[in-house]
Amino acid sequence: MQIALNARILQAPRTGIGHYLAELVSALTHEPDLELSLFHGWGWSSSLPQAAMPGYSRLTPLLRQIPGAYQARRWLEQRRFDRGHSAAIDLYHEPSLWPLAFKGPTIITLHDLTHLHYPSTQPAARLREIERRLGKGVRQARLILTDSQFVADEAQRYFGLGPERFVVAPLGAATRFHPRSNESLQQTLQPHGVQPQRYFLCVGTLEPRKNLSLALRAHAQLPQALRQRFPLLVIGMAGWKGDQLNDELHKALAAGHVRLLGYLPDEQVAQLVAGARALVFPSVYEGFGLPVLEAMSSGTPVVLTRYSSMPEVAGTAGNYIEPDDVHGLCEAMSRLADDEAHRQVCREAGLQRAKLFSWERCAKLTVRAYRQALGG
């Protein structure tokens, strides 16, 4: 099978969908009788780009200010897509929101429906494009891959489609997420002023649906001595309208017990996840919740909400809280800090749960969907 994959999103700093595509492509290369052609927006390649396109983060805000920028870029991409792909392409896989026009069979990956629940987290121009194109893309696709059963069920209701149009292919954790010795973490942790197992961690783009404000308020309610022993580290880029968190975040930063680390290289993130006392992940909406799986794979307990897809990932290994329960999150953090036996039980449960997920399994389910879409 000759598969065309739209890899343009890998020009941006890698967050959830970018990590999905990079890991999926790597796993697909081990599948027999499968050849990949990757479209990167301006041309085609057989290999993944290693880093974000230089200047991407500076260019994107400028594009938002230009009327019709999304449509113009889309028109250019379509022309380059049409001009460059081989006539031998059997199937086109679009891993992000809406596909380009293609005369042959198409599969899309629908990661979530965030734009329906949290439209304010999208730039206005991008939201208009999603609303204009997503429905058409769903109709164009022979099959729709989702990361979780939750998203498949949600999309079936919203688009009025039958379950036979959907294939659930749960994600995996990259190999860099694994338990590590305290000694191996010292060099990465030292610049941040923390010791292994002596900090809580939040991971995710700074935007309202990630519910970071709950983590900030709960951490602030811990006894002062506990806050000093276990500061809260936050990894992630500022999202669209992430400034909504600024007042609360600035107060927490000023108090000295919260540290904002920004966007970090993948290996540093993996080491910080492995070294955390627990991952605090109070998000109210996720299509999968990859940081949850990555933490469990690293032997790090997880505190999370029982909302959207996340129970599918954490199962009985999660420490569940309500998304507005400051006291409940504070208690969960306090117990994980002080009760070593409880933390070890959570650690072992997470490691066992994580074994159920892998990128190899995701790739095999994806290939099965390719063959199904081609009538095989």
Place of tokens 């983060």: 57
Residue 38 dihedral angles phi and psi, to the nearest 5°? -105, 120
Strands 91-94 and 302-305: unpaired
Mean pLDDT for the chain? 88
- Does the pLDDT of residue 57 top 60, yes or no? no
pLDDT tens for 239-265 read 545 555 566 677 777 777 899 998 899
Q: Is 216 exposed, middle or buried (0-12, 13-18, 19+ CB in 10 A)?
A: buried
Map out the domains of the chain with their CATH numbers.
Answer: 2-172+358-373 (3.40.50.2000), 182-354 (3.40.50.2000)
- Report the range of poorest mean pLDDT among 69-78, 82-91, 288-297: 69-78
Residue predicted with more confidence, 271 or 59 = 271
pLDDT tens for 111-145 read 999 888 777 666 677 777 777 778 888 888 999 99
Residue 93 dihedral angles phi and psi, to the nearest 5°? -110, 120
| CB within 8 Å of 212: residues ≥ 6 apart | 202, 204, 206, 234, 245, 249, 282
Task: Count other Cβ atoms within 10 Å, centred on residue 162.
Answer: 7
pLDDT tens for 271-323 read 999 999 999 999 999 999 999 999 999 999 999 999 999 999 999 999 999 99
Section 332-342 average pLDDT? 98
Rounded distance between C-alpha atoms, residue 299 and residue 277, angstroms: 10
Rounded distance between C-alpha atoms, residue 86 and residue 26, angstroms: 21
pLDDT tens for 167-193 read 999 999 999 999 999 999 999 999 999
Percentage above 70 pLDDT, the chain: 89
Prediction pTM value: 0.89
